[in-house]
Structure 1
């Protein structure tokens, strides 16, 4: 995991930029509603595309292409969350297996010690000849000395019983440690397989999106970027027109300010699925590392951030809070104030400042509630 930190730039950089700028980030990777009017380009003809990996018609509908790209990248984002969750669980299980191994080693050492002591006690009893205490009293030349010794024998017997009980408990503990370790190994293997499955899906979706984009002419790519900007602008404008920004006036906590400062310093770094910095990030890698830098650990994935962190009303959100997007909680961004977010959008993009309303908002969570 990346834990290196780079120099932080001032939080004020573009955070208080004009609403018109925030409304055109050109980085949202999922189609908000409503969408702009479809547009077509090029008059040449060729075979129609049947899927994302087929040849794209020169007369293609670029709006349909944009929507297809959104779906591909969204599917990759969902798979990335699954990959990150499996990785986090695998790391936790590996650590638990190490701790169990240490307990097993200590238990085996303790068991060997107890067996040595039990053997010594058995040998001592054997040396007494195994006679009953009454016979030993009658045969003793000094009955008083024998009686004095009897108390010590009783103490030894009680100690021996305690020794046997501890030996039994130690053996039971070792058996349980072994069972726990076996269960953890099985879980670890299951999560390794889940990671591999998610990785294949991520790579497949991204490859399909990249192939689709590679079939576009330069002018078509430029027009596609314009369509993305128009869709983001339209969604952000609708969000602002609701008047919600007038209700949002929360002040960042001390830790929230640190988290925002960290996130701001990452602007311009590339998106990379599964990455947690310091050179690249995915969406939840950015938010989790920003809050880790602020001294407050949070779950690694956007879905777990949505499940585990405290939910707050959108009108009550403050800089440093996390906005969760889409019904499946597959994307997360950090709110930085003035209707803006910082997020890692998708493959091929960089960490950027955008409008908070450019994607469908599921809800808001507060790490330091």
Structure 2
């Protein structure tokens, strides 16, 4: 994600900025290292005993892992956004501190000059006060200094108030970043636990059964051969962004699934959609839940190449419609990006970005 952080200004004090950034980074690193490496209460790495076939148990584990993956993706995206906000806030605090320092220095020079002449104006002694802001609100002695000096004092106090607000905002953002990083670690552990349980279960199957599972979708068995004898022809669908995304997603067929991945070598389900539309010059949100609302909803009967097909009520899986009743999607760990029937699972919505 591109940073919108303002460039460092020439002459800025490196000591102030370094101290602020170092404190922010150190606090965030401490929060990350202290993050719990356990799943949420009530979750277990193993799928609970369930009636039905081993395939049904595997499907359930992969669905749970996929939901946790999308929670991980959302928390990770939020952490990235907050990290940028923390850096920008630290930059603003550093600039604010430098401004206050310059203003205090200028007024201090005036006070020093008056001291040398034997008469330091009481108002300028506010520079040494721990409650200069409150004093000015009550003081009538401000009339004793020139209008220019009074303006400088009030400007200094306004700058100090602004600096306090910036520091408070930076502290709140940093605390939110720490919470998001802990969520990232929690969801990461949850995904890894579900996938480890699925691997153990899959490895317990005879080799022939393992091969059969890899040839079937999670919701419905389908023939081991090609999904359709004729793949969708995208040559005549135009040059719109949906067509460009559909061409890109087809080029990813055969790539491995990797949870949390956005390409170009591996993908999870929503990462594949984001990458394909990125190739078409369109920015999509990171998660399947957000992608569900990233455009206009249409019916499956109206679907055209490039539309996003969102699955399950919680929108925890997504594929891209490519025509001929098919989607391309990243199914689950161990499977590669492939074609499947568009109605392979319950559809939550069809979204046209």
Equivalent residue for 1:183, pick from 172, 181, 184: 172
Supply the distance in 2 between the matched residues of 1:253 and 1:159 (Cα, whole angstroms). Answer: 65
**Contact kept in structure 2, 1:252 and 1:320, CA below 8 Å:** no
Shift in alpha-carbon separation, 1:165–1:309, aligned structure 2, 3 A: farther
Mapping 1:75-224, distance limit 5 Å? 75-123=64-112, 127=117, 157-224=146-213
Q: Give 1:193 deviation, angstroms.
A: 1.2
Shift in alpha-carbon separation, 1:291–1:223, aligned structure 2, 3 A: closer
Q: Give 1:117 deviation, angstroms.
A: 2.0
Q: Give 1:304 deviation, angstroms.
A: 1.5
Task: Output one character per residue of 1:277-319: Cα deviation in whole Å (capped at 9) or x when no partner.
Answer: 1111000011011112222211100012124543333333322
**Structure 1: unaligned runs, 5 residues or longer:** 2-50, 55-60, 132-153, 235-249
**Pairing 1:347–2:333 present:** yes
Q: Give 1:73 deviation, angstroms.
A: 0.1
Which range is displaced more, 289-298 or 341-350?
289-298
Mapping 1:11-22, distance limit 5 Å? none
Q: Give 1:115 deviation, angstroms.
A: 1.0
Q: Give 1:123 deviation, angstroms.
A: 4.6
Shift in alpha-carbon separation, 1:230–1:256, aligned structure 2, 3 A: closer
Cross-structure match for 2:261: 275
Supply the distance in 2 between the matched residues of 1:338 and 1:251 (Cα, whole angstroms). Answer: 12
Return the structure number with greater relative CO, CA threshold 8 A, min gap 6.
Answer: 1
Cross-structure match for 1:295: 281
Supply the distance in 2 between the matched residues of 1:159 and 1:191 (Cα, whole angstroms). Answer: 48
Cross-structure match for 1:42: none
TM-score, with structure 2 as normaliser: 0.70
Cross-structure match for 2:318: 332
TM-score, with structure 1 as normaliser: 0.67
Supply the distance in 2 between the matched residues of 1:295 and 1:178 (Cα, whole angstroms). Answer: 38
**Contact kept in structure 2, 1:53 and 1:211, CA below 8 Å:** no
The alignment's C-alpha RMSD in Å is 2.9
Q: Give 1:333 deviation, angstroms.
A: 0.8
Which range is displaced more, 167-176 or 271-280?
167-176
**Contact kept in structure 2, 1:322 and 1:333, CA below 8 Å:** yes
| Bigger CA radius of gyration | 1
Supply the distance in 2 between the matched residues of 1:328 and 1:311 (Cα, whole angstroms). Answer: 16
Task: Output one character per residue of 1:179-238: Cα deviation in whole Å (capped at 9) or x when no partner.
Answer: 11111111111111111111111111111111111111123334545665992449xxxx
Aligned pairs, number: 274
Supply the distance in 2 between the matched residues of 1:228 and 1:170 (Cα, whole angstroms). Answer: 62
Q: Give 1:71 deviation, angstroms.
A: 0.4
Supply the distance in 1 between the matched residues of 2:177 and 2:290 (Cα, whole angstroms). Answer: 19
